[in-house]
Amino acid sequence: MTGFLMLPPWLDRTDVRIVLFVGFVVALLMLSRWASKYSDVRTQESGFVPAEPAAIRVTQKPGQPSPDAPLEPPAAYGQVVVKSMWFKTFDTPAGPPDPKVFCDELTVEIYHRDTGETSEWSYTVGTPEGFARLLNDKNWAVFFAPEVIVVRSYDKEIIRQTVVDRYISDIEGDEALRKTGREEL
């Protein structure tokens, strides 16, 4: 019985079919890459800009700060501006439940006026009692963190000034820190 389509006898071999199939896939891949390049160029030439996704509207309770507002009002210290600072587990302006016993992660966003650069810095901040509680709660024998600030009790301004001093020391050197009249270990 003869088939509907008569193929030449050399197409009966499996290895020839594999080579043809691979060649067809490669040609199809090259065609799709060429078409995508062409569509990118046409999009740029036409000035078409894809629409941004619709903004999600956040409803907030009266008196609650806007979600777009900085977490902390900016505070300038010479050429250094602390744009925002926030703790991981409590509200920065209100402070921890017990100001004499706390240990938490602090993130600070700093803007340097001379360079125009903004950077984020992270610290572990707490009282000696807060670090002791952390060790006991976690059943740890030791606690190690590269950036640690120990305070007697929670004081937002002292913590912010210490972060600025540390930033000045790290970026501008210890001599710049000595000019501020403050010291570190």
User: Is a pLDDT exceeding 90 seen at residue 181?
Assistant: no
Sign, Cα dihedral of 134, 139, 140, 141: positive
Quick one: which H or E segment has residue 72? none
Which range has highest mean pLDDT (34-38, 100-104, 112-116, 174-178)? Answer: 100-104
Contact of 91 with 84, CB cutoff 8 Å: no
User: Is a pLDDT exceeding 80 seen at residue 54?
Assistant: no
Task: Compute the mean pLDDT over every residue in the chain, rounded to the nearest whole number.
Answer: 77
Give the tokens for residue 85: 């600072």
Query: Which comes out higher in pLDDT, residue 181 or 118?
Result: 118
Residues of the chain above pLDDT 90, percent: 26
Query: Which comes out higher in pLDDT, residue 86 or 8?
Result: 86
Q: Do both 79 and 161 map to the same domain?
A: yes
Total domains, the chain? 2
Q: Name the one residue in this structure whose structure tokens are 């390049």.
A: 37
Distance CA 89, CA 87 (A): 6
* Separation in Å, CA 70 to CA 85, 104, 185: 9, 20, 32
Q: Do both 95 and 32 map to the same domain?
A: no
User: Which one-letter DSSP state was computed for residue 88?
Assistant: S
Q: Do both 86 and 39 map to the same domain?
A: no
Distance CA 95, CA 108 (A): 15
Q: Do both 102 and 161 map to the same domain?
A: yes
Q: Do both 22 and 100 map to the same domain?
A: no
85: nearest Cα among 120, 56, 55: 120
Query: Which comes out higher in pLDDT, residue 130 or 171?
Result: 130
Q: Do both 41 and 94 map to the same domain?
A: no
In a domain, residue 51? The reply is: no
Residues of the chain above pLDDT 70, percent: 68
Which range has highest mean pLDDT (106-120, 122-136, 161-175)? Answer: 122-136
Q: Do both 79 and 121 map to the same domain?
A: yes
Mean pLDDT of 13-17: 80
Q: Do both 81 and 169 map to the same domain?
A: yes
Residue 65: its pLDDT value, please?
A: 43
In a domain, residue 168? The reply is: yes
In a domain, residue 55? The reply is: no
Q: Do both 36 and 117 map to the same domain?
A: no
In a domain, residue 63? The reply is: no
Which range has highest mean pLDDT (12-21, 53-62, 70-79, 147-156)? Answer: 147-156
Q: Which domain holds residue 39?
A: 11-46
Chain-centroid distance, C-alpha 152: 30
